[in-house]
Amino acid sequence: MPDATPQATQAAKPAEKIGVLLANLGTPDDYSYWPMRRYLSEFLSDQRVIDYPKWKWQPLLQLVILSKRPFSSGAAYKSIWNHDKGESPLMTITKDQTAKMASAMAARYGDQVMVDFCMRYGNPSTKSKVRALVEAGCTKILFLPLYPQYAGATSGTANDAFFRALMDETWQPAARTVSAYFNHPSYIDALARSIETAYAKMENRPDILVCSYHGMPERYAQQGDPYSRQCHETTQLLRDRLGWADSQIISSFQSKFGPEEWLKPYTVDHVAELARQGKKSIAVVAPAFSADCIETLEEINEEIRESFDHAGGESFTYIPCLNDDDGHISALSAVVDENLKGWLG
């Protein structure tokens, strides 16, 4: 028998592929105390999110905030938890989005493109999914944070985790990131269609549509973060696409945390003021969120709704995020197609 050649004794090399890695914020593994504490500790220790000096912030976080907040946050998560699947709605929806994106990419590119997802905080980690894509033969990875508007505390920190994961790879794949897609025509159209569909089902048209975006400290915007501007541009593009007057659709910001001034107006206060001004029927949509999560299902649909009702509001409609809607998948696919140019033959 002929001697085995080195090539014959080596494991077969996987065919080269391109990976598309979707990324979202993250979710606790469970709503009980310790999983909540681990998740919140990782999230609130990120200096892209809270940029106070560690020597000042960490004692307050670990000794005070994380002794109490896991209980209140856990109760909020429990109220929206997908008990059938044992996971948060964000996890369920992100899995569904990934499956549909994988089908869309397979229809376009066959088995040349793989689609997977990761979470910035919690599981599955960015590092584990980069490793899995490389092991599957991906020599190129397109990283897509599922935040239409760029913010350092969302897209920026997601990119940081992606780049750190690449640092651990001996043979790094070629890499690209998608910065923002808030002004992509397909995204604006998908968002507008979701609003039109919701309005068509209502017996009476709301007096006003509130676009509620996740907030951030005003200081971050003053330091050059483009998020605030991109949020207002999103509302304007949506207004133009719907053909509505300026007074029919407005922007506000939610989820304020800590003592600093954040982007205003605050949604929770603003909806109450609208009710007092005679706007008794409103709808709320959350264009900064690609999937329904604690901030939409609990904060908007419960806390912010309650603020409106207590101020004399009569009709409050929350319009769900785009989630795994076909229009959303088409929009994300268009973004991916554009960013894969030059990588596909």
Q: Give the separation between CA 284 and CA 271, rounded to whole angstroms.
A: 9
Alpha carbon distance 181, 196 (integer Å): 21
Ligand-binding annotation for 214, yes or no, is yes
Three-state secondary structure readout of 119-162: EEEECCEHHHHHHHHHHCCEEEEEEEECCCCCCHHHHHHHHHHH
Q: Which residues fall within 8 angstroms of residue 54, CB to CB, at 6 or more apart?
A: 47
CA angle 233/89/211 to nearest 5° reads 20
* Distance (Å, whole) CA 185 – CA 183: 6
Q: Which two tokens stand for residue 106?
A: 């397979």
- The contacts of residue 222 (CB under 8 Å, 6+ apart) are none
- SS3 call for 17: strand
Radius of gyration of the chain (CA): 22
* Residue 270, annotated as binding a ligand: no
d(CA 45, CA 80): 25
Specify binding-site residues. Answer: 214, 295
Specify binding-site residues for Fe(2+). Answer: 214, 295
